[in-house]
């Protein structure tokens, strides 16, 4: 099986996915008005601003990737794909159990850390998700199943809570 299956931009599928995000999450991208989306409860938003900059211990990024994969695996079946979305760029279907290739910057095709754009990983039925906000410098986890998985596999970065519901 192939990982990182491209959802072509533009395409009907791409537009349907983003239309659903704009509608269901009331997504309003902004560099100054936060939060930019409203996710269903339960959720928790973590402040990850301490992990931005040149002096950051790079092992924290590896830890986040490792723990996110463990959490995604805990919430999916062996052959199940989830959405990996990069706002206004190519998006993908990805299986947490298959190889996550990295690019020349040693990042996933859609990075797990919001280092310049909105990066979202969402279950195909939108029952849970992981939303990275680059300007708020935050990561929001929603859905009981994914929250529980991240409680078990908690990344080092998830120390400061911004809000929860």
pTM flag (> 0.85): yes
Angle between helices 59-74 and 144-152 (to 10 degrees): 130
HEC letters along the chain: CCCCEEECCCCHHHHHHHHHHHHHCCCCCCCCCCCCCCCCCCEEEEECHHHCCCCCCCHHHHHHHHHHHHHHHHCCCCCCCEEEEECCCCEEEECCCCCCCECCCCCECCCCCCCCCCEEEECCCCCCEEEEECCCCEEEEECHHHHHHHHHCCCCCCCEEEEEC
Asked if residue 109 has pLDDT above 60, the reply is yes
> pLDDT-derived band of residue 28, with 50, 70 and 90 as boundaries?
very high
N-terminal to C-terminal alpha carbon distance within the chain: 37
> What confidence tens digit (pLDDT) does each residue in 150-160 have?
999 999 999 99
Q: Residue 132 — φ and ψ, nearest 5°? A: -100, 130
pLDDT of residue 131: 98
Among candidate residues 79, 64, 83, the one with its CA nearest the CA of residue 16:
83
Question: What residue spans define the domains of the chain?
Answer: 5-25+37-164
């Amino acid at each position: 099986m192939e990982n990182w299956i491209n959802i072509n931009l533009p395409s009907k599928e791409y537009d349907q996915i983003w239309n659903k995000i704009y509608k269901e999450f009331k997504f309003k991208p902004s560099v100054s008005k936060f939060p930019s989306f409203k996710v269903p409860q339960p959720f928790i938003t973590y402040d990850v601003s301490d992990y931005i900059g040149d002096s950051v211990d790079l092992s924290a990024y590896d830890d986040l990737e490792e723990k996110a994969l463990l959490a995604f695996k805990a919430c999916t079946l062996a052959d199940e794909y989830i959405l990996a979305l990069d706002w206004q760029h190519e998006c993908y279907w990805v299986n947490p159990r298959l190889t996550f290739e990295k690019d020349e910057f040693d990042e996933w095709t859609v990075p797990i850390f919001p280092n310049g754009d909105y990066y979202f990983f969402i279950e195909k039925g939108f029952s849970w998700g992981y939303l990275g906000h680059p300007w708020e410098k935050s990561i929001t986890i929603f859905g009981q199943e994914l929250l529980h998985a991240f409680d078990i596999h908690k990344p080092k970065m998830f120390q400061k809570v911004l809000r929860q519901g």
